[in-house]
Structure 1
């Protein structure tokens, strides 16, 4: 392996001179710089940037913890793209750590990033509860923020939208189009956003004096296949819903496929809507009515907070937006 000493010998300078040139703190002649750069190119030397930054107790890394349960699909890719692009825009490199399948593994991922001396850490917790996250935030000298989850004791460190209110808005829209027989496809048990959407579903039904029916609710586990199976199950039981609200767009896509296979027209026979406004929702037929969730701004606010740009962070709002497209039809005569 090529070392800094090899570069110094080839360039005819001291090892400390090479180190200073690479750190940008060198007061040396242009001739010496060019000799070092040429030696690096000829030897193929790759400086150990992490070791150098760890030695100064300062890195240009932003850590991001997320469970691999969410890795598969456009939802994950959109989130990671935004986290990486906002980190890069501010001169930082994103490091992704897998939270895997338990609170302890999420904690291990956070500890890994702390050991890497990241400048700050973004956590999208799936297993650590609010109190556990509060303990981690309070015990760490490294700034840590949470996205898409409330943090009552540290609200300044939590960047979340109002999932309940956005689901209320969607349900009110569906009912305003004349629908009363509305099915619901849930995500997974324990999901904070999923529970908010389901609570809104039930509350809006009650507000309009529409009876809640357990047999109109099924679990889709956030996946297209889950939405497909949930819809097949719903109609196999002889249900006659006129609309289906899926807890996310991916389950809505699966539900659409199931409806087409069973011979139903969308939205003429059955209307459908989702949440997230992922890119494909504008390219399916019919285009999907959904709620745009501001994950890009959650991440942007979180990263700005981590790097000390609190004022810029405060200027960004985290409101959701109802996106009305073609998948919900009016049943008014």
Structure 2
């Protein structure tokens, strides 16, 4: 398969497009791959020349010209293995049939070699593109590395951090507000919150949404009822033990993710408390384990697998002749899933 033009004459080449648009060949390449580093005016000019001459790059020819592999990278730093597995499955769904394969790169943002490791991974693998779940997606240093390497990317984050073609926005605050409304509606007034790590934007967005939801019912999140966790089961256990040791303990706890929420369940049981009779618990994510523990966990459903698929589809849109920036913004609207771990507070 060769690069062709709709005119039926001699096929246009990337050099022809660069010359006619008065830009470098590298800039044309960036426009084709929807790199966010290209100025909008330049992008429109190049796209107009491409449309006029019917230039359609062949994926294999592009791979050779750009010296890229047929690999999509997923760079992540997330302590929840269930979250990571679901995200991987979604990315695989999104690249299926494209001829691309997935390669994952777990990392530690606190490591002194973090940025060098990411740079070496991107350059060594000659990646077609990168999907970034939180919290790596929130790190502008990583974005700078990808732009320097002319490597396309899509970020998944709780708020918009980039242009639409490079984002899947999950609106975490909306889901947390729904959790707050649910607990307040059941009659809870002394409600606790266990956040995720401070380095995760989602921790702050879920906390913000939870406070806003409580405020709608005239409630405030008391400072003595807030603990910081690490998005792990163990941190949920520890934070819950601390909260439940208070003289005036909470009647409900909202945990920033399901793993911590299940840790709260263990801490409650260890103290002889009944869930939800003595303590209501709400999680976030709706991982498969949420419907397998007892009692089944009330939680906020975040479609993690769908999010990975949406990101991969945006990344590979060019292979299907689509412009990611022109695609509809994926709808991620976290919904509360009511199960058996919440009830009215004890009298």
Q: TM-score range by the shorter chain?
A: 0.7 to 0.9
What SS does the aligned partner of 2:284 have?
coil
What SS does the aligned partner of 1:97 have?
strand
Closer/same/farther in 2, CA of residues 256 and 89 from structure 1, 3 Å limit:
farther
Equivalence map 1:106-125=2 (5 Å): 106=115, 108-125=117-134
Alpha-carbon deviations, 1:206-225, whole Å to 9, x = none?
33222432111112211111
Q: Give the deviation of 1:113 after TM superposition.
A: 2.1
Equivalence map 1:62-141=2 (5 Å): 62-67=72-77, 69-70=78-79, 73-102=81-110, 105-106=114-115, 108-126=117-135, 129=138, 131-136=140-145, 138-141=147-150
Q: Is the 8 A contact 1:54 1:116 kept in 2?
A: no
Equivalence map 1:176-195=2 (5 Å): 176-195=185-204
Q: Give the deviation of 1:316 after TM superposition.
A: 4.4
Alpha-carbon deviations, 1:26-59, whole Å to 9, x = none?
xxxxxxxxxxxxxxxxxxxxxxxxxxx7698242
Q: Is the 8 A contact 2:158 2:205 kept in 1?
A: no
Q: Give the deviation of 1:328 after TM superposition.
A: 0.8
Alpha-carbon deviations, 1:255-303, whole Å to 9, x = none?
0011111111111111101000000100111101111112222221221
Q: Is the 8 A contact 1:184 1:246 kept in 2?
A: yes
RMSD: 2.7
Q: What TM-score, normalized by structure 1, do the two folds share? A: 0.75
Are residues 1:326 and 2:343 paired?
Answer: no
Bigger Rg, structure 1 or 2:
1
Closer/same/farther in 2, CA of residues 295 and 110 from structure 1, 3 Å limit:
farther
1 CA distance for matches of 2:231 and 2:328? 31
Alpha-carbon deviations, 1:196-246, whole Å to 9, x = none?
111122223333222432111112211111111111111212233111110
Closer/same/farther in 2, CA of residues 128 and 166 from structure 1, 3 Å limit:
closer
Where does structure 1 lack aligned partners over 5 or more consecutive residues?
1-52
Runs of 4+ in 1 over 4 A off after TM superposition: 53-56, 127-131, 309-313
Q: Is the 8 A contact 2:298 2:341 kept in 1?
A: yes
Equivalence map 1:1-333=2 (5 Å): 57-67=67-77, 69-70=78-79, 73-102=81-110, 105-106=114-115, 108-126=117-135, 129=138, 131-136=140-145, 138-148=147-157, 150-307=159-316, 308=318, 309=320, 310=322, 314=328, 316-331=330-345
Alpha-carbon deviations, 1:125-155, whole Å to 9, x = none?
5367554355345444331111125454423
Q: Give the deviation of 1:252 after TM superposition.
A: 0.6
2 CA distance for matches of 1:65 and 1:134? 11
Q: Give the deviation of 1:76 after TM superposition.
A: 1.9
> How many corresponding residue pairs?
279
What SS does the aligned partner of 2:273 have?
coil
Q: Give the deviation of 1:179 after TM superposition.
A: 1.1
Q: Tell me whether 207-216 or 307-316 shows the greater mean CA deviation.
A: 307-316
What SS does the aligned partner of 1:314 have?
coil
Q: Is the 8 A contact 1:148 1:298 kept in 2?
A: no
1 CA distance for matches of 2:216 and 2:164? 30
